Amino acid sequence: MTHDHDHAHGSGHGHHHGHGSDLTPVEARVKALESLLVEKGYIVPAALDALVEMYETKVGPHLGARVVARAWVDPTYRDRLLADATPAIAELGIGGRGGEHMVVVANTPDTHNMVVCTLCSCYPWPVLGLPPVWYKAPAYRARAVIDPRGVLADFGVGLPETTRITVWDSTAETRFMVLPMRPAGTEGFPEEALAALVTRDSMIGTGLPLSPGSEIPA
């Protein structure tokens, strides 16, 4: 439970008349659910805390960026990644817990790939962390399929008319990640410098990697 308490302050705890505490309705509901599941033996509190902490602090798009950078510098790794992504990603010590079957699709000058989950919000958690809010919104889920070029324009991505856009619909069983094209002017860059250019959106396909010199300071 340490996780909870570290965050409890300022999250809906108004000052109550006495000196008691308050839980918001949803906070109380989740605590109720969790405590019942612990009592029934479905949940081990320490394991739950460890899982949540892992997703809050260790898992995120920086992991996917490592995969992309490796594929950019190592053609044989790239081949393995595109042929069978789950074990190739596991080679870098990444994976497990909610990733299921990963498929990586590569952008080329002719084809740009974009990922959506039209059913709900399936997403490759172990490599990209948790999805951004817009990924879960009805507008993106619906429009990505009907008007991918318009969605890309909203994200500030303009592609040549000749570039074909392929939209991949993630499911519970198959979770897609995009391998963006390596930016020009990065010849000889070490892998870590390349990884810093790889944005989350470029791995969903709603963005492109940063250009050298424009990367966000770590």
Partner 1 sequence: MSTPAPQGPFSAPWEAQVFGLVVSLQEAGLFTWTEWAAALGRTIRPAGQGEQAADYGRWLETLERLLAERGVADGASLDSRTAAWHRAAHATPHGQPIRLENDPNFAAT
Angle between the N-to-C axes of helices 45-53 and 25-39, in degrees from 0 to 180, rounded to the nearest 10? 130
Please list the active-site residues: 117, 120-122
Using the minimum distance from each CB to partner 1, give the nearer residue, 78 or 116: 116
In the complex, the smallest distance separating the C-beta of residue 40 from partner 1, rounded to whole angstroms, is 7
Using the minimum distance from each CB to partner 1, give the nearer residue, 58 or 164: 58
Give just the sign of the alpha carbon dihedral 79, 83, 87, 90: positive
For the chain, what is the radius of gyration of the CA atoms?
20
In the complex, the smallest distance separating the C-beta of residue 89 from partner 1, rounded to whole angstroms, is 17
- CA distances, 73 to each of 17, 23, 70, 172 (Å): 62, 50, 5, 31
Largest CA distance in the chain: 68
Using the minimum distance from each CB to partner 1, give the nearer residue, 80 or 118: 118
Using the minimum distance from each CB to partner 1, give the nearer residue, 80 or 136: 136
Task: Return the number of other C-beta atoms located less than 10 Å from residue 104's C-beta.
Answer: 26
In the complex, the smallest distance separating the C-beta of residue 78 from partner 1, rounded to whole angstroms, is 26
In the complex, the smallest distance separating the C-beta of residue 160 from partner 1, rounded to whole angstroms, is 21
